[in-house]
């Protein structure tokens, strides 16, 4: 029996996902696929029968219908990477192979045959939109980014396009910070010096993979004014900072809510996507029934 355990944005808040994330421990001796993103931790394992609920759910995930920002594209790459990593490490059952291969195919169909991704945006783009709405003068403000990854590089591209001149980049691996900072004419700062960096920072963007908060309340002076984007899961910034005068803190849920408030996705596009998912679910059922019949013959 194919089984699935999941903790995601549909059944748990950001705080609950942080608390529960440590309770989902895959057994490394058992073949499985582990999908981890900022919105979800999902574990798939087993062989044999598979419920339509599990198939439909993963198809919806691959299509961006279960994302915090509906239609976002990043999930397809994350799903593919999770599957390929599992393939390298384990001998997966034929049913798990088929499930993930058809999920990726379904996600591609949805994005090709509907306009679900038209206007769909990433967390980096929403961060940029909020900066625009806040009328931040990027030529005069100091922007500090903690974390080196695709998300932060996308933000760096925008800052460079807007001729931001005071950009600081920090990362646990200082060499990675140096490489990215040089590419976008920024300055790399060692994490050991983060408190000094925060003293002159006006806009702080955090997106690391650290398992714990890296920005504490006492890292930022009481009178300091700062716009903070915490795009990490688990969170990089202590939530209590949001209560401090002069601090405006946006976490993942805030960013996703901003996107939902500013993007109208037509219902017929979602309906078309769901129709494709049902078609692919039917194909999967036909494949499984045929395979099962041949094994029994």
Looking at residue 17, its pLDDT comes to 86
pTM to 2 decimals? 0.79
Report the SS3 class of residue 17: helix
- Listed by start position, the domains of the chain span 3-119+265-296, 123-256
148 token code pair:
């080196």
Residue 273's nearest CA partner among 143, 133, 163, 118 is 118
Pairwise CA distance, residues 81 & 76, whole Å: 9
Q: Which residues are CB-contacts of 14 (< 8 A; sequence separation ≥ 6)? A: 233, 235, 251, 252, 253
* Sheet with strand 143-146: strands edge to edge: 187-190, 167-171, 143-146, 203-206, 226-230, 247-250
Q: Which CATH architecture has domain 3-119+265-296?
A: 2-Layer Sandwich (3.30)
Pairwise CA distance, residues 23 & 70, whole Å: 27
CATH number of 123-256: 3.40.50.720
Contact 70, 33 (CB under 8 A): no
What would the 3-class secondary structure string for 149-208 be?
Answer: CHHHHHHHHHHHHCCCCCEEEEECCHHHHHHHHHHCCCEEEEHHHHHHHHHCCCEEEECC
Task: Check for a shared fold between 3-119+265-296 and 123-256.
Answer: no
What would the 3-class secondary structure string for 215-266 be?
Answer: ECHHHCCCCCCEEEEECCCCCCECHHHHHCCCEEEECHHHHHHHHHHHCCCC
Catalytic residue among 4, 38, 87, 206: 38
206 belongs to the catalytic site: no
Looking at residue 119, its pLDDT comes to 63
Mean pLDDT by 10 residues, the chain (297 residues): 90 85 76 91 94 96 90 90 96 96 96 80 85 87 94 90 87 95 93 94 95 94 94 94 95 88 69 94 92 73
Residue 47's nearest CA partner among 110, 117, 95, 107 is 95
């Amino acid at each position: 029996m194919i089984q699935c355990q999941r903790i995601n944005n549909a059944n748990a808040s950001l705080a609950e996902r942080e608390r529960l994330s440590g309770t989902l421990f895959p057994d490394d001796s058992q073949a499985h696929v582990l999908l981890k993103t900022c919105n979800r931790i999902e574990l798939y394992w087993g062989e044999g029968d598979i419920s339509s609920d599990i198939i439909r759910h993963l198809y919806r995930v691959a299509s961006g219908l279960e994302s915090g920002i509906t239609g976002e594209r990043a999930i397809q790459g994350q799903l593919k990477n999770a599957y390929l990593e599992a393939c390298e490490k384990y001998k997966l059952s034929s049913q798990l192979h088929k499930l993930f291969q058809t999920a990726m195919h379904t996600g591609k169909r949805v994005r090709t045959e509907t306009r679900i991704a038209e206007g769909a945006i990433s967390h980096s783009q929403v961060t940029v939109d909020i900066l625009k709405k806040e009328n931040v003068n990027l030529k005069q403000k100091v922007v500090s980014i903690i974390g080196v990854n695709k998300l932060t590089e996308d933000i760096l591209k925008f800052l460079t396009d807007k001729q931001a001149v005071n950009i600081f980049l920090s990362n646990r691996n200082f060499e990675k910070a140096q490489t990215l900072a040089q590419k976008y004419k920024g300055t790399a700062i060692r994490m050991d010096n983060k408190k000094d960096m925060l003293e002159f920072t006006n806009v702080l963007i955090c997106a690391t993979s650290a398992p714990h908060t890296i920005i504490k309340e006492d890292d930022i002076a009481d009178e300091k004014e700062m716009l903070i984007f915490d795009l990490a899961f688990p969170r990089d910034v202590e939530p209590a900072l949001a209560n401090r005068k002069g601090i405006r803190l946006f976490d993942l849920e805030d960013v996703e809510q901003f996107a939902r408030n500013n993007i109208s996705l037509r219902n017929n596009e979602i309906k078309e996507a769901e129709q494709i998912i049902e078609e692919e679910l039917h194909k999967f059922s036909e494949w499984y029934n045929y395979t099962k019949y041949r094994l029994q013959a």
